[in-house]
């Protein structure tokens, strides 16, 4: 699910800022941006996030800002400055008076001559601040996701009820399939001028084979069980995205079986409508943690 959270923590010498953002992904994907001096903390941050998130792309950005108590020093690479000057003198000899005279200000624009060295950051000082900032960002991210999760849960409940309605239509049509087949067979026999009574053993055998072949009671029972499991997942607070995704696959399997077994145009149309509703659920499930 999508969300954003930020957090800060500071001491007299440092301020740690954390920003966390999440977007929908079918698998878990982490992108953690840390200052080089804190790179050793990445595995711990990654493990903590994966304990909570099983899906989605989570981006974490950590910033470290020295405050008044921190010291920095300006360093000059005099050897590199001398080389720049010598190179300029060489160009003057080659080009003559066409060049502007070399000035000290030119060295300010020369890469590597002047560097500002910050005082080394101690992990001992950073870790408690980083933990507080991460906790605050994490909490705000989860709060935003919970709001979106409530909307998704309500939407999925509505879509599930629509899917139940389509399956109810299929269940209502199922008993009529055999009766329609009986009438169709009787009409064909009459059109062919075949004089057979409907209680003829051969016709009864044909009806029995057809009834067994088009019986979808087992599939309807399993669908009802799957719908009940959907509801149980909706009522829990744990991550359920993968479980719902699996249930969608199972429901789709049962609908395909019903469509192939029913041998009836009315039920076939209802199956298409049911699979349309299921696809809407499947699309939303991809956004669920």
Instruction: Tell me: do 7 and 103 sit in the same domain.
Output: no
Q: What is the pLDDT of residue 121?
A: 67
Give the pLDDT of residue 196. 56
How does residue 60 score in pLDDT terms, banded at 50, 70 and 90? Answer: very high
| Residue 32, beta-bridge partner list | 60
Cβ–Cβ under 8 Å, residues 64 and 119: no
Q: Based on the fold, state whether residues 98 and 193 are members of the same structural domain.
A: no
**127 within a domain of the structure (yes/no):** no
Listed residue (128, 116, 115, 117) closest to 14, CA to CA: 128
The verdict on 27 and 39 lying in the same domain is yes
pLDDT tens-place string over residues 121-169: 677 778 888 889 999 998 898 888 888 878 888 888 888 898 988 888 8
Q: Does residue 162 share a domain with residue 87?
A: no
Q: Examine the domain organization and report whether 23 and 109 are in the same domain.
A: no
Asked, for residue 126, whether it belongs to a domain, the answer is no
CATH number at residue 25: 3.30.230
The pTM of this model reads: 0.56
Assign 19 a pLDDT band (cuts: 50, 70, 90).
very high
- Does any domain span residue 61? yes
Q: Which pLDDT value is given to residue 178?
A: 62
Per the CB < 8 A criterion, the answer to whether 161 and 198 are in contact is no
Does 89 fall in a domain? yes
In a domain, 124, yes or no: no
Q: Looking at the domain assignment, is residue 53 inside a domain?
A: yes
> Residue 187's pLDDT is what?
61
The mean pLDDT of 195-207, rounded to a whole number, is 60
What pLDDT was estimated at residue 198? Answer: 58
Task: Give SS3 for 75.
Answer: strand
Write out the two tokens for 197.
């009574």
Q: Are both 57 and 82 inside the same structural domain? A: no
- Looking at the fold, whether 274 and 164 belong to one and the same domain comes out as yes
Domains in the chain, number: 3
Contacts of 62 (CB under 8 A, 6+ apart): 16, 17, 18, 32, 33, 34, 35, 38, 130, 133
Nearest one of 124, 3, 145, 117 to 60, comparing CA atoms:
3
Residue 167 phi, psi (nearest 5):
-65, -35
**In terms of domains, do 21 and 140 share one?**
yes
Domain hosting residue 112, numbered range: 72-118
The answer to whether residues 121 and 37 touch, using CB atoms and an 8 Å cutoff, is: yes
Do residues 49 and 18 lie in contact, with contact meaning Cβ atoms separated by under 8 Å? no
Average pLDDT in the 206-233 region? 77
pLDDT tens digits for 246-255?
A: 888 999 999 9
55 domain-assigned = yes
| 46 and 82 fall within a common domain | no
- Average predicted confidence (pLDDT) for the chain: 80
259-278 pLDDT, tens per residue?
887 777 788 888 889 999 89
In a domain, residue 123? The reply is: no
Backbone angles phi and psi of 282, in degrees to 5: -60, -40
Measured CA to CA, the distance from residue 283 to residue 198 in angstroms comes to: 49
Residue 205 is predicted with a pLDDT of 67
Residues 174, 217: one domain?
A: yes
pLDDT single digits (tens) 92-126: 888 776 666 777 777 878 888 888 776 666 777 78
- 264 and 243 housed in the same domain: yes
Place of tokens 């977007």: 23
Token pair for 78: 């005099």
Tokens of 215: 């019986």
For residues 223 and 250, is the Cβ–Cβ distance under 8 A? no
Q: What was the pLDDT predicted at 35?
A: 85
Residues 185 and 272 in one domain: yes
Beta-carbon-side half-sphere exposure of residue 246 (alpha carbons within 13 Å): 6
């Amino acid at each position: 699910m999508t969300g954003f959270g930020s957090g800060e923590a500071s001491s007299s010498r440092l301020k740690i800022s954390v920003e966390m953002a999440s977007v929908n992904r079918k698998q878990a994907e982490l992108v953690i941006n840390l200052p080089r001096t804190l790179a050793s903390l990445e595995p711990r941050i990654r493990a903590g996030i994966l304990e909570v998130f099983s899906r989605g792309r989570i981006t974490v950005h950590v910033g470290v800002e020295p405050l008044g108590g921190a010291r920095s020093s300006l360093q000059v690479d005099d050897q590199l400055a001398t080389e720049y000057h010598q190179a300029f003198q060489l160009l003057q000899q080659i080009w003559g008076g066409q060049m502007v005279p070399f000035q000290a200000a030119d060295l300010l624009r020369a890469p590597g001559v002047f560097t500002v060295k910050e005082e080394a950051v101690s992990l001992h000082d950073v870790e408690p601040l980083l933990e507080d900032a991460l906790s605050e960002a994490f909490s705000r991210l989860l709060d935003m996701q919970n709001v979106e999760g409530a909307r998704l849960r309500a939407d999925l409940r509505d879509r599930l009820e629509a899917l139940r309605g389509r399956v109810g239509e299929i269940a209502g049509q199922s008993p009529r399939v055999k009766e329609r087949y009986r009438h169709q067979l009787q009409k064909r026999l009459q059109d062919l001028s075949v004089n057979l009574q409907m209680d003829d053993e051969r016709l009864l055998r044909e009806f029995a084979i057809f009834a067994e072949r088009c019986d979808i009671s087992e599939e309807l029972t399993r669908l009802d069980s799957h719908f009940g499991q959907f509801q149980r997942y909706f009522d829990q607070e744990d991550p359920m995205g993968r479980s719902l995704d699996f249930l969608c696959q199972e429901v789709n399997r049962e609908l395909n079986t019903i469509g192939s077994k029913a041998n009836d145009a009315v039920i076939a149309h209802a199956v298409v409508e049911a699979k349309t509703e299921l696809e809407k659920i499947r699309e939303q499930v991809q956004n669920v943690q």
